[in-house]
Amino acid sequence: MKKKTGVVVVPICILLLVSLGLFVFSYKETEKMVDYFEGEEQSSIIALVKNQEEVNSRLEKVSNNQSYTFDNAYLELNPYEISPLSGILIYTSKTKEPVELWINDELKTIFEASAKHVIPLYGLFEDYENKITIKNGTKEKTYSLKTEPSHIKYPLEVSQKIENDDEMIFTVASYETWLTGWDKTGRLRFYLTEDLRMDVEWLSNGHFIIGTTQGQFAENFVGFVEMDYLGKIYHQYTLENGYSFESQVLKNGHILSAGGSSPVYIKEQVIYELDLETGKVVDQINLAEVFKAIDPSFNEKYLGQAAIRNGFYYDEKTNEMIVSFRGIDTVFCVDFRTKEMKWIFTSPSNEVFQNEVWESYKVKSSGENYPWGQHSPQITSNGLIAFFNNGYERYRGFEVGGEDLVSAYSNHYSRAEAYEIKDKQANLVWSYDANKELFSHQYGSIRIDELNHKFINFGYVLNKDYRSSKTGRLSESEKNPDHIHAEIIELDENDRVIFKATCEEGKYRAFKHALYESKTAYIDIGNLTYFNTIPADELKETTIKTLSLENAIPWINSLKFSQNTFETDKVMNETDDISFYFINKAGKVYVLQYKEKENMQINRIFHLDLTGSYAFYININGEIYKTNRIIKF
Amino acid sequence: MKKIIVSVIGVFIVGLLFIGTIGLHVENKRVINNETQEFNTFLTNFLQACQKFSLGEKGEVKVIADYKGAHGESLPHEFQYSFLNLNTELLFESEAGYTMLFADQEILYFLTKEYRVPKEAFKIKNEVRKNTYELDVENFNKEMNTEYQKGEISFSIEGKLRKKIKKITVTLDDIIYTWEDDKLTINQKGNETLILKNSNGYSLSYNNDAKINLFANTEVRADIVMKQYSYSFEKVGQEIRVTMNTPASIYNRLELIFIAKEVEIKKEKVADDKANPIYRYFDEIKGE
């Protein structure tokens, strides 16, 4: 009896002991993993875009709430929290009905017949009790929406205004104010509190495309968003070619965009056609390849970042595309579809083009007028080549040891120009030089419309007193707006000044566009899609057992991280070896080799194709840092 | 017979317990002494590493100002100055004249002044309660030139046979040091300093306003973040290299390379502050 009991009891005891042991082991392992998973949780999508999901969800509920009616509508100021002079009005009606929107006693637009009304309110006055009136037949209801003062640091001072003009002046400034919109009396009507900038292109639906700056380098961005004046984002594009300076909307709804063979850190300049519906590139031209096909010895430095490809313009009728390479004072023309060079317009003394293979491409100017540090090329509707000629040689600028004292440029001036270029001959047919008083050594833009009105931005004009200073330096003024201002001038078809404004901040570009069309669609609240076409990086896999993470060094520096970008103020050196560790709760580690020791380029764009939550660690030259961040992919 | 055996076993067990208790008590003291030394060593090593960043009394400094190009160009310009170290200020002098700049170096040294405690200062007197001892404050004040009124040291001990100190708490008037798991916390008047050991040195945070990583194993480097401004320090041979890595509107970064040596400081004319890139840098980041 005793023996039988022992046969049963002993294995049970062993089983219990083993189970207890396993339980204790897994408890301890779980405890350890909890230590790794300390810290702040964040999304892998940039906060600017991710935060909108919650707003969309909230407003969607409001729009389905039948208690909001014509007479008791939902009203909210700045719903997306980045556009303080905007608002939203939402209600439902029993039947489909159109509605007129009046803001501050002005009819803005008419919305189509619908039972659900999601009405965007754009262009509110700041620090004002804005009057919002909706009208439907005989029904009318007025609401009030109070805005706060903007305290915008650099207002637009309008010296020659246009009354009762619905068109706004939009300006883009890298320094402080980013994208702003002003009416033609100089009143601020739109601004964003997030850093989005460079070119702005409007789509047929009234939205616009603008660059997102997280991960940016030298005004080269990883992509752009489609946005409206509420600051609502509809689509985020994170692109394998990145995006910098310029886009152009095509008639087929696609967009041409400038970027590089790789995003942000541009080694070869590329301009590509993007299908906005799919995020796919359908055509592209690699400008470096075009140049190298003609001249294999061409200095590669000027086919990448140093080209400063600050603008292009595509003529859909002829397939001709003109491109501005400010870094080498050159405007050139290519056939976008056949990828062939057609001509180059640059000073004969430009040493970059001294190889005789370029002779057959060179355009000669009849009056010794050539591009100098130029911006904003355009092919006008009648085939002229227009650009903003800054008026000084950028190639031999102070950046490479050229003249830095402003006094050396006392006779220089900038002007907007239009050339007829035919049979490799350029004739200057139009120019505007503001009496040779304005020298804008950076920035600047020109657009000539079908009515032959010219909209000119002298974007970075050295102030008169500074120009006469003996110690003033271009290098100082380029970074700091103390001694500069911008002048925005509109000319009619007879070159009469019909609008003029100044601002003490440098303006990269200025545009004209209305806030509303005569008929406007309601906001599609739920719409937010992400396109990411950057190829996924290969990740190595290991486990936490192979890494010594227990005594990791706390990361004390700033850290901005997304699925594609990494920014920090920690000093990183060219010879550093940097890896990222992403640890999941099972203890598996995915490793991204961010930078090899031999690769002198410190930063890059990447694409992490992961799902789930991961504790984020960084290894720099064998020193492992704990970031206290949990990244949710 | 049975009674005798039981008695012997009983005495033996009691004897074992008695010896065990004495042994544990002795073990406590031994562990306390060892761990206290380790505590001192931890703090001393940290402070010694900090002290390697002394700029010296005077010398030369090369300033490399990396101007921010409009299109990402890195445009380094070099400036050369003589410097005079006045502990909370630095004087920079060139042919154009001199500029005084506030430069409180105490962030790296304040612990040496306030909290550095050599092991000779730590003498334990009476046990006031279990695992809590009165500190010999007179000895402490004599070693440290302080005027504390009272001091105490207490220990949390874990383990039965093999003992280990889990936590040490030292109280000197209103300063409380707590050492646990290679982490030292110092609380005084609502300010908290936290120092912990990591695989490459030490990390310090002061009220979350200042954070330092000190790499003290094979190199002498420090990363400092103060009020969201980022700096790094490195000692390379005789040079102290300071990098200011928070971008300002006109700079990507600023790098200063100090060498202590005998220089002449004339202090004859005041230079234009804004011509000094260090002044300019701090003026710009202050405004951001």
Lowest mean pLDDT among A79-93, A599-613, B28-42, B220-234: B28-42
- What is the pLDDT confidence band of residue B30, given thresholds at 50, 70 and 90? low
Please provide residue B33's backbone torsions phi and psi, each rounded to the nearest 5 degrees: -60, -45
Residue A508 has pLDDT above 50, yes or no: yes
CB atoms A551 and B197 under 8 Å: yes
What average pLDDT does this structure show over A285-296? 98
pTM above 0.90, yes or no: no
What average pLDDT does this structure show over A445-462? 96
- Interchain pair A554, B213: CB under 8 A: yes
pLDDT of residue B7: 47
Give B-chain residues touching A442 at CB under 8 angstroms. Answer: 70
Write the burial class of residue B189 (CB in 10 Å: 0-12 exposed, 13-18 middle, 19+ buried): exposed
- Contacts of residue A149, defined as CB under 8 A and 6 or more positions apart, other chains included, come to A126, A127
Q: Any idea which residue has 């057992």 for tokens?
A: A545
Q: Does A553 touch chain B (CB under 8 A)?
A: yes
Question: pLDDT > 70: what percent of chain A?
Answer: 97
| b/e A386-413 (16+ beta carbons within 10 angstroms → b) | bbbbbbbbbbebbbeeeebebeebeebb
A557: nearest CB among B197, B199, B230: B230
pLDDT of B196 reads 84
pLDDT band at residue B228 under the 50/70/90 scheme: confident
* Lowest-confidence pick of A588-592, B8-12, B57-61, B172-176: B8-12
Q: Check CB contact of B62 with chain A, cutoff 8 Å.
A: no
Q: What's the confidence (pLDDT) of residue B29? A: 55
Predicted local confidence at residue A20, as pLDDT: 76
Looking at residue B5, its pLDDT comes to 46
Residue A604 makes CB contacts below 8 A (sequence gap 6+) with A264, A265, A594, A595
- Pairs of residues, one from chain A and one from chain B, whose beta carbons lie less than 8 Å apart: 80
Query: A291 vs B183, which has greater pLDDT?
Result: A291
Given a contact cutoff of 8 angstroms between Cβ atoms, the answer to whether A375 and A324 are in contact is: yes
Strand A364-365 relative to strand A375-379, pairing: unpaired
- Two tokens at A621? 């030259």
Q: Which amino acid is at B95?
A: E
Q: pLDDT at residue B33 above 60?
A: no
Higher pLDDT, A593 or B276: A593
Chain B hits for A476, CB-CB cut-off 8 Å, are: 250
DSSP 8-state class, residue A150 = -
Sort out which chain B residues have CB atoms less than 8 A from A269's CB and list them. none
Average pLDDT over every residue of B10-17: 46
Query: What is the average per-residue pLDDT within A535-557?
Result: 92
Q: Say how many residues make up chain A.
A: 633
Q: What is the mean pLDDT of chain A?
A: 93
Chain B: closest CA distance from residue A216 (Å): 10
Q: List the 476-505 stretch of A: residues with Cβ below 8 A of B.
A: 476, 478-480
Distance CA B214, CA B107 (A): 12
ipTM of the complex: 0.80
B218: nearest CA partner in chain A? A623
Q: How far apart, in Å, are the Cα atoms of B115 and each of A359, B44, B47, B170? A: 76, 10, 10, 12
Measured between beta carbons, the chain A residues lying within 8 angstroms of B288 are: none
> Which two three-digit tokens encode residue B245?
């890595």
CA distance A221 to chain B (A): 12
Helix (H, G, I), strand (E, B) or coil at B50: helix
CB B83 within 8 A of CB B59: yes
A218 vs B71: CB contact, 8 Å cut-off? yes
- B65 close to B277: Cβ distance less than 8 angstroms: yes
Asked if A551's CB is within 8 angstroms of B198's CB, the reply is: yes
Q: Given the structure tokens 């014509």, which residue do they identify?
A: A70
Burial of B101 (0-12, 13-18, 19+ CB in 10 A): middle
Closest residue by Cα to residue A286 from A255, A310, A262: A262
Can you list the positions of beta strands (E) in A203-279? 208-212, 220-227, 233-244, 247-249, 255-260, 269-275
> SS3 letters for A115-135?
EEEEEEECCCCCCCEEEEEEE
Q: What is the mean pLDDT of residues B245-273?
A: 87
Is pLDDT at A594 greater than 70 in this prediction? yes
Residue A446 has pLDDT above 70, yes or no: yes
Q: Model confidence over A108-164: pLDDT tens digits?
A: 999 999 999 999 999 999 999 999 999 998 899 999 999 999 999 999 999 998 877
The dihedrals phi and psi of B19, each to the nearest 5 degrees, come to: -60, -40
Cα A301 from chain centroid? 24
Element (H, E) at A160: strand A157-160
B234 reaches A (C-beta below 8 A): no
Where residue B15 falls among pLDDT bands split at 50, 70, 90?
A: very low
**Do the Cβ atoms of A448 and A439 come closer than 8 Å?**
no
Terminal alpha carbon distance of chain A: 62
Nearest partner of A259 among A316, A221, A300, A314, judged by Cα: A221
Q: Is the pLDDT of residue B72 over 70?
A: no
When CB atoms are compared, the residue of B72, B243, B249 closest to A218 is B72
Which residues in chain B have Cβ-Cβ distances shorter than 8 Å to A217? 72
Q: Among all chains, which residue has been given the structure tokens 């007829």?
A: A420
Query: Highest-confidence range of A98-112, A539-553, B50-64, by mean pLDDT?
Result: A98-112
Q: Do A553 and B75 touch (CB under 8 A)?
A: no
Give per-residue pLDDT as tens, A328-348. 999 999 999 999 999 999 999
Q: Kindly tell me if the per-residue pLDDT of B287 is higher than 80.
A: no
Please give the angle made by the CA atoms of A211, A217 and A218, to the nearest 5 degrees.
90
Backbone angles phi, psi at A241, to 5 degrees: -100, 0
| Dist. CA A149–CA A132, nearest whole Å | 18
Beta-bridge mates of residue A217: A220
Q: In chain A, which among 458-477 make CB contacts under 8 A with chain B? A: 475-476
**Chain B residues with beta carbon closer than 8 angstroms to that of A569:** 225, 230, 245-247
- Cβ <8 Å between B75 and A475: yes
Average pLDDT over residues A365-376: 94
Mean pLDDT of B56-73: 82
Question: How far off is chain A from B152, nearest CA to CA, in Å?
Answer: 30
Tell me what the mean pLDDT of segment A585-608 comes to: 94
* Residue-wise pLDDT tens digits, B177-216: 888 877 888 888 888 888 888 878 888 888 878 898 988 7
Residue A26 has pLDDT above 80, yes or no: no
d(CA A481, CA A469): 16
Residues in A touching B232 (Cβ below 8 Å) = 570-571
Q: What CA–CA distance (Å, rounded) separates A262 from A533?
A: 11
Report how far apart, in Å, the C-alpha atoms of B228 and of each of A206, A629, B231, B264 are: 40, 18, 10, 36
Average pLDDT, chain B: 78
Mutate to test the interface with B, among A623, A624, A625, A628 (most CBs of B within 10 A): A623
Lowest mean pLDDT among A266-270, B222-226, B230-234, B284-288: B284-288
Whether residue A426 is predicted with pLDDT greater than 90 in this model: the reply is: yes
- Please tell me which residue, B25 or A276, carries the higher pLDDT value: A276
Percent of chain A residues past pLDDT 90, beyond the cut: 82
Report the candidate in A477, A470, A444 with the shortest Cα–Cα distance to residue A458.
Answer: A444
pLDDT at A29: 63
Residue A533 structure tokens: 């076409």
Give tens-digit pLDDT for B87-146. Answer: 788 999 999 899 988 776 665 555 545 555 566 777 788 888 888 889 888 888 888 788
SS (H, E, C) A516-582: CCCEECCCCCCCCEEEECCCCCCCEEEEHHHCCCCCCEECCCCCEECCCCEECCCCCCCCCCEEEEE
The amino acid sitting at A56 is N
For the CA atoms of B272, B276, B279, B284, what is the dihedral angle to 10 degrees?
Answer: 100
To which residue do tokens 């970027």 refer? A259
Task: Say whether B75 and A480 touch across the interface (CB within 8 A).
Answer: no
What pLDDT does residue B49 have?
72
CA angle B183, A627, B38 (to 5 degrees): 15
Q: Do B230 and A570 make contact, defined as CB atoms within 8 angstroms? A: yes
Helix (H) or strand (E) segment spanning residue A579: strand A578-583
Q: Residue B51 pLDDT > 90, yes or no?
A: no
Which amino acid is present at A511? F
List beta partners, residue A415.
Answer: A389
Domains, in order of start, for chain A: 31-45+536-632 (no CATH), 65-146 (2.60.40.10), 163-531 (2.120.10.80)
pLDDT higher than threshold 80 for residue B219: no
pLDDT at A435 over 90: yes
Q: How far is CA A433 from CA A51, B41, B55, B103, B274, in A?
A: 46, 74, 55, 49, 34
* Spatial contact of A162 and A499, defined as CB atoms under 8 Å apart: yes
In chain A, what residues touch B107 (CB-CB under 8 Å)?
none
Q: What are A181's two structure tokens?
A: 């919109």
Give A-chain residues touching B215 at CB under 8 angstroms. Answer: 623
Token look-up 């707003």 returns A55
Q: What is the pLDDT of residue B237?
A: 86
Reported as a single tens digit per residue, the pLDDT across A195-253 is: 998 899 999 999 999 999 888 888 899 999 999 999 999 999 999 999 998 999 999 99
